[in-house]
A and B are shown apart, each in its own frame.
Chain A
Amino acid sequence: MDGWLLFEIVLAGVGTGGLYALTGLAFVLIYKATRVVNIAIGEMLMIGAYVFFAFAAGMGLPIWLAIPAALAVSAAFGALVERTVIRPMLGESPISSFMVTVGLGSVLVGLVELVWTADQQRLPEFLPTKHIAIGEALVSPKIFHGFWIAVLLIVTVLLIFRFWRGGVALRATASDQAAAYSVGIDVPRVFSLSWMAAAAIAGVAGIVVGSIGGISSAMGVFGLSVLVVVIFGGLDSVLGALVGGIFVGIVESLTGFYAGTEYKLLATFILLVLILMVRPYGLFGTHEIERL
């Protein structure tokens, strides 16, 4: 019986881990293409959730229309951000563009609080509410459905990377910008594309996270855990984001159960400090060698 309990907790962790992995994927996408460490990823996720909220609850659109609309707005928003604040920082030191995203996060939090106030809101229910049983372990329906949505999206994105022209262009840009230019890839457009795609992916994650735990202007905290996830897996590794996401999800779920919810973030950040001490480039990240 105890085994089943443990299994249940781990499953819940894998469920949240799927969402971490998804958001981590968005982060890695931006990092690989533009070398920007986007600390505002949690806030972009929040924007996705709030736009969905505006469409579904504010304007009363049906869910099947509200989700694509929210994703389209998120993507447009990603493009806007890239064009207005990231593009001018091209060629600046990575620390400068990092701090631009710090500013961006602050602006987004402020915007959300200005428009929707800082109070917690509930997204309209759209996921089935029946509990799922795997053996004797019960999984919360929202987490279960959130998980398969995340998995589905991750697989789609990976397939797109593998086979679509744009995806190949993106990978080419990530591996060598100059070479990508010289074979005729429109690199600035790839930058735009990566931010749009990342914003849309983060939007999906936001909608799912929001429907599990409600939305509020403090949702960006989710982004802190995602930072840990990508550092754990390696900033430029898609595989790392996936493994890291699941792992951090399980760690949080276990600490949440055995120690208490308030220890979750603590455990995540202790994990971060450990990984920085032992393997600063993450599990699967590229170890950059510096030349003088």
Chain B
Amino acid sequence: MRIGSAKQSYAADAALFDSRPQQAWALLGLLALAAFPFFAGEYWLYLACLVSINVASAMGLNILTGYTGLVSLGQAAFMGLGAYTAAILQLRYGTPLLLNLFCGGLVATAAGVLVGLPSLRVKGLYLAIATIAAGVLAHFLFSHLPALTGGPSGLSVPPARLFGIELDTSARLYWVIVPITLLLLLGAANLFRTRIGRAFIAIRDRDISAEVLGIPLLRYKLLSFAISSFYAGIAGGLFAYFFRAVTPESFPLLMSIFFLAAVIVGGMGTVLGSVLGAVFMTLVPELLKLVVSALPLGGNATLVLSPVRTIVFGALIIVFLIFEPLGLAEMWRRTRRAFHLWPFRT
């Protein structure tokens, strides 16, 4: 049982890591992340990068959907915008990596604000459907502006360079992708200790009450869209450098559903949830791959894999919504509490 974590100052209470063990764990986690590339093989590094990109995007969606309560099915479209922007800048002008990522984020932000504009008039489900429209429009743009986007065949991106090092393997990209994701996560965690983040939460809980309390709805909703799609844009840029190819088909509606699923499964309205959800949802297909290849299916294994994955995605959304609406983060919290209270039970 953990005792004696009484806070003596307001600052201590509002701290990001509010207890010694937590700080220790965070430090340990950072060290583990830093040590990971030296021990892991190529496959695991590939997965780590992929997970990391998905975490960044899921975090963005969680800011919008989990914290502000605006359901979006357009996350993939924003990622696509970020990816295309980064790819085009890299191909045409060879501008530096970080600038490209940032520009990708900005373009996605602009699109996000545009898509968010109807959010003052329409809410909830109407908004979700409007964001599907954003996805359709983005896909159309990607495939019908061949001069800029290479049309249906897309663009292939040369490897990024940073400080003269060519980032052509997962092991090297790891050092770009993971720190950026960590920064984004830190930003999100801090966002909800500020006035803006609190305003988002107030809007989620009851938007009319929030407005009565003096929160300008349109401005904050747009801000939420902007931040969320900025995250998506950065993640998209990383996606472009990671897969080294962007096509209109890289960002289907299913991908938006994937991120929504990650946020739901992980836990809406928690930073930890975005991480857990994205990690879980990215690793489940890999696990399925193992399971399916272990089944006696012969040559059908690859044929079966993709539908099974689709089914499992859907089933996870349904199961979590029905049985654990607060997601993995809540399970994690319960486990932690059980340890803290150990000899006793809640």
Asked if A pairs with B, the answer is yes
When the two chains form the complex, which single residue of B133, B208, B316, B318 contacts A272, counting CB atoms closer than 8 Å?
B133
Q: Does B306 contact A (CB under 8 A)?
A: yes
Shortest C-beta distance, A122 to chain B (Å), equals 21
Q: Is B55 an interface residue (CB 8 A)?
A: no
Is B126 within 8 A of A100, CB to CB?
Answer: no
CB distance from A285 to the nearest CB of B (A): 10
A-B contact count (CB 8 A): 127
Among the stretches B26-34, B194-202, B226-234, B307-315, the one at the interface with A is: B307-315
Q: Are B122 and A276 in contact (CB under 8 A)?
A: yes
Answer yes or no: B317 CB below 8 A from chain A CBs.
yes
B299 → chain A closest CB, angstroms: 14
The answer to whether B133 and A95 touch across the interface, beta carbons within 8 angstroms, is: no
User: Complex formed: what's the CA distance from A272 to B133 in Å?
Assistant: 8
Give the residue of A37, A99, A103, A276 whose beta carbon is less than 8 angstroms from that of B121: A276
Q: Across the interface, which residues of B come within 8 angstroms of A290, CB to CB?
A: 208
- Across the interface, do A89 and B321 meet the contact criterion of CB distance under 8 Å? yes
Is A109 in contact with B132, judged by CB distance below 8 angstroms?
A: no
Known: A85-B318, A104-B314, A273-B118. A110 touches B309 (CB 8 A): yes
B23 within 8 A of A: no
- B321 touches which one: A100, A228, A272 (CB < 8 A)? A100
B140 at the A/B interface (Cβ < 8 Å)? yes
Task: Count how many chain B residues have C-beta atoms less than 8 Å from C-beta atoms of the other chain.
Answer: 46
Q: Are B260 and A99 in contact (CB under 8 A)?
A: yes
B280 to chain A, nearest CB (A): 15
Q: CA A92 – CA B325 in complex, angstroms?
A: 10
Assembly CA distance A87 to B21 (angstroms): 43
Shortest distance in angstroms between B148's beta carbon and chain A's nearest beta carbon? 17
Find residues 257-287 in chain A having any chain B CB closer than 8 Å to their own CB: 262, 265-266, 269-270, 272-273, 276-277, 280
Please report whether the interface of chain B is mostly helix, strand, loop or mixed according to DSSP. Answer: helix
Interfacial chain A residues near B321, Cβ < 8 Å: 89, 92, 96, 99-100, 103
Q: Is A292 a contact partner of B317 (Cβ separation < 8 A)?
A: no
Given contacts A98-B125, A109-B310, A110-B310, A224 and B132 within 8 Å (CB-CB): yes
| A103-B307 contact in complex given A265-B136, A269-B133, A277-B118, C-beta closer than 8 Å | no
**A102 B257 Cβ-Cβ under 8 A:** yes
Which positions 82-138 of chain A face chain B at CB distance < 8 Å?
A: 85, 88-89, 92, 94-96, 98-100, 102-114, 117-118
Q: Do A276 and B118 contact each other (CB < 8 Å), given the known contacts A110-B310, A231-B126?
A: yes
How near does chain A come to B134, taking the closest CB pair, in angstroms? 9
Evaluate contact between A107 and B303: CB separation under 8 angstroms: no
Indicate whether A227 reaches chain B with its CB closer than 8 angstroms: yes
Q: A104-B318, A114-B304 are in contact. List 17 more A-B contacts (CB 8 A).
A: A89-B321, A94-B124, A95-B124, A98-B124, A100-B317, A102-B317, A105-B314, A106-B317, A107-B311, A107-B315, A109-B310, A224-B132, A266-B137, A276-B122, A290-B208, A292-B208, A292-B209
Which residues of A line the B interface, CB within 8 A?
37, 39, 85, 88-89, 92, 94-96, 98-100, 102-114, 117-118, 224, 227-228, 231, 262, 265-266, 269-270, 272-273, 276-277, 280, 290, 292
Which residues does B use to contact A, with CB under 8 Å?
69, 71, 73, 118, 121-122, 124-126, 128-130, 132-133, 136-137, 140, 143-144, 206, 208-209, 212, 254, 257, 260-261, 264, 303-304, 306-318, 321-322, 325
